[in-house]
Amino acid sequence: MTGSNVEEINAYREAEERLRESDRRNRALVNALPDLIFRYSGQGVYIDAVIKDENRLTEAGRELHRNGRLIGSTITEVLSPELSSKVMDGITRVLDTGKLHVIEYCYPVSGRVCHHEARMVPSGLDEVMSIVRDVTDRKNTEEALKASEERYREILATIEEGYYEADLAGNITYCNDAACRLFGGYSKAEIIGASYNKLYKDPDLAFKTFHNVFKTGKPERGLILEMVRKDGSIGFGEISISLSKDKNGRVTGFKGIGKDVTERIEYEKRLEYLSLHDQLTGIYNRAYFETELERLAKSRGYPISIISADLDGLKLVNDTLGHDAGDRMLISCANVLSDSLRDSDILARVGGDEFSAILPRTDTSTGESILKRIREKIDRYNRENKDLPIGISLGVATAESGGGSLKALFKRADDTMYRDKLHHSSSSRGKIVKSLLAALSERDYIADGHASRLENLCRALGERVGLPPLRLTDLALLTQVHDLGKVGVPDHIIFKPDTLSEEEWDIMQGHPEKGYRLAASSPELAGIAELILKHHEHWDGNGYPLGLKETEIPIECRIFAIADAYDAMTNKRPYNSAKMSEEAIKELEAHAGRQFDPNLVPLFISVLNEANKQQTTDN
């Protein structure tokens, strides 16, 4: 044997040994894998198989493997028709493309469904190798995760808080139904894909917040942002923002929750408004006024002037016409003052009928000119509103420089105002009374000529009993204004044709006292205020409002009572038809000693008879 032949034999042996070593390594690698390994022919015949656990085979596969007949069997003999079709399709695809192909399938193993993943690659001209791995645990985990995500989405769909997700550009990628309500009526289709620029009134603030969360990684909670609703109105949302990350920890966008706090914010604003404003007039209240006094005392707003104003006659109106009328006067007063001041001035209601205004950077001359403007506005208002005129007492004081307390300045303005009140408050009340008398006359609730007939009857009886001229004048004036207090009685009571209810009668019986207060406040009527108060008292003490009897009642009121009753009976009223004079006289005689002075009734009848005789003679 030549040396070259020996070398060839040695090389061949070494190659065989390397091949056997490679095969051992491959076998060791295959044996180390937990997977099932199969080799198929292009026709789907099992060529080889590495099976660690035959329990992982199908029932038919286990039977064939135990009998040593798996190799050489076809996949249709081992697998179900549906599964064998899927595997055969994979074999064909791998042989056609020469590339890896992965299929997934499941079948029952030992009473439970197992999921498998088959990775198929070409292993020869007409062979395919398939590594089959049990992926049941992975599938179960994935399905559990999917179920968890579905439950999570269901929870998000049903919670009251709005939930949203956005990409890094701030575009909404997901939201629940509550978020649609939060953003004011948009549908999901309208919100998803929309930018925060569309949803927030201040997109710059929203951008800064999103950017800060992205930069710091720290979530933002409890942020109040104004939202633009679909209808264009503005609402308030309390928003939280945090980062969204993928499973590798990479930031992918933003997520958060929000709730509509519009009602809460508006309520808080309302509370703040009420804490600083007078609820009736809408201007500032005393608390705010005093806070501004302290603030401006340390400011550079000097010279500072303060105007003090007081509404004249408010108590009179409240007592006679009711608090609704008084409230209207207060509102009118606030409006006149507000219209007279500048935007920089601070007007407040500092008491029941008291107002005050702080005028920054206002010297004495300017303060006086503003006071003049207020008085001009009052005159104009009263010309246009004669039914209930207003009178305002005014005072102003000025501090040219700082250093002192503005509360002391307020006191000086108040003192000036009270001096002004002494000069004209009675005149203001007189104007109110005159306007009320005019209103009473316009209501015309009694028969035409009642006042003049009543005056003639009272004067005739007054002269018969010998009243002096001054008291006759008072008696005549009483006939004109005795029902002054009825301006505060509603029309439905005055004009009611039926008997008054107990409540309505109580209201009606209050008119003498109201008339008394009105008359007492008027210089022209103060002298007969007592007569107005007592003109419904009865001789026997059963009248009102004081229950006086007999001579405790002024004679003017006793005369008036007889004449008024006679005229009421002989002329039509809402509550009765007219009587003949003879019938009325009989009624007077029947009530003499009870309702009427028994000494005056005969005298009044004689006055009537004389007047009738004189009328007959004249005719």
Whole-number pLDDT of residue 461 = 93
Short-list 161, 202, 167, 207, CA closest to 182:
161
- At residue 100, the 3 state secondary structure works out as coil
> Quick one: CATH architecture of 444-618?
Orthogonal Bundle (1.10)
> Who wins on pLDDT, 287 or 113?
287
Could you tell me the pLDDT band of residue 305, with boundaries at 50, 70 and 90? very high
Which residues, 6+ apart, have CB-to-CB distance to 160 below 8 Å? 178, 259
Which run of H or of E encompasses 205? helix 203-216
pLDDT of 93 strictly over 90: yes
pLDDT of 577 strictly over 80: no
| Length, in residues, of the chain | 619
State how far the Cα of 252 lies from the Cα of 169, in Å rounded to an integer: 10
> Quick one: CATH architecture of 33-139?
2-Layer Sandwich (3.30)
Whole-number pLDDT of residue 189 = 87
Whole-number pLDDT of residue 562 = 95
Pick left, alpha or beta for residue 263 (phi over 0 → left; psi -120 to 50 → alpha; otherwise beta): alpha
Average pLDDT of 104-129?
86
Do the domains 159-266 and 33-139 match in fold? Answer: yes
Whole-number pLDDT of residue 347 = 97
Whole-number pLDDT of residue 441 = 63
End-to-end CA distance of the chain: 189
> Who wins on pLDDT, 271 or 52?
271
pLDDT digits (tens, 9 = 90+) for 523-536: 777 888 899 999 99
Q: Is 449 exposed, middle or buried (0-12, 13-18, 19+ CB in 10 A)?
A: exposed
Could you say which DSSP state residue 96 is in? H
Whole-number pLDDT of residue 609 = 87
Strands 234-245 and 220-228: antiparallel
**What are the tokens at 198?**
């569309």
Could you tell me the pLDDT band of residue 515, with boundaries at 50, 70 and 90? confident
Average pLDDT of 484-512?
83
* 46-50, 232-236, 370-374, 451-455: least confidently modelled range: 451-455
Rounded to the nearest 5°, which phi and psi values hold at 347?
-105, 135
pLDDT digits (tens, 9 = 90+) for 308-341: 999 988 887 887 778 888 999 999 999 999 999 9
pLDDT digits (tens, 9 = 90+) for 539-572: 999 999 999 999 999 999 999 999 999 988 888 6
Whole-number pLDDT of residue 33 = 61
Strand partners, 600: none
**What are the tokens at 231?**
């209808």
Strand partners, 522: none
E-strand ranges in 336-390 read 346-349, 354-359
* 121-135, 204-218, 443-457, 461-475: least confidently modelled range: 443-457
pTM above 0.75, yes or no: no
Mean of pLDDT over the chain: 85
Average pLDDT of 498-510?
87
* 122-126, 176-180, 354-358, 599-603: least confidently modelled range: 176-180
Average pLDDT of 99-125?
87
Q: Where are the domains of the chain?
A: 33-139, 159-266, 301-438, 444-618
Which residues, 6+ apart, have CB-to-CB distance to 222 below 8 Å? 238, 240
In angstroms, what CA-CA distances link 534 with 455, 461, 544?
A: 17, 18, 8
Could you tell me the pLDDT band of residue 574, with boundaries at 50, 70 and 90? low
**CATH class label, 301-438:** alpha beta
In angstroms, what CA-CA distances link 582 with 561, 570, 578, 591, 605?
A: 18, 9, 12, 15, 10
> Who wins on pLDDT, 308 or 476?
308
Average pLDDT of 447-458?
77
Which string of b and e fits 557-585 if b means at least 16 CB within 10 Å? bbbbbbbbbbbbbbbebeeeeebeeeebb
Q: Residue 446: how many CB atoms within 10 A of its CB?
A: 17
Could you tell me the pLDDT band of residue 447, with boundaries at 50, 70 and 90? very low
pLDDT digits (tens, 9 = 90+) for 11-53: 767 767 776 666 666 565 555 566 788 899 999 999 988 887 7
pLDDT of 223 strictly over 80: yes
* 88-97, 140-149, 276-285: least confidently modelled range: 140-149
**CATH class label, 159-266:** alpha beta
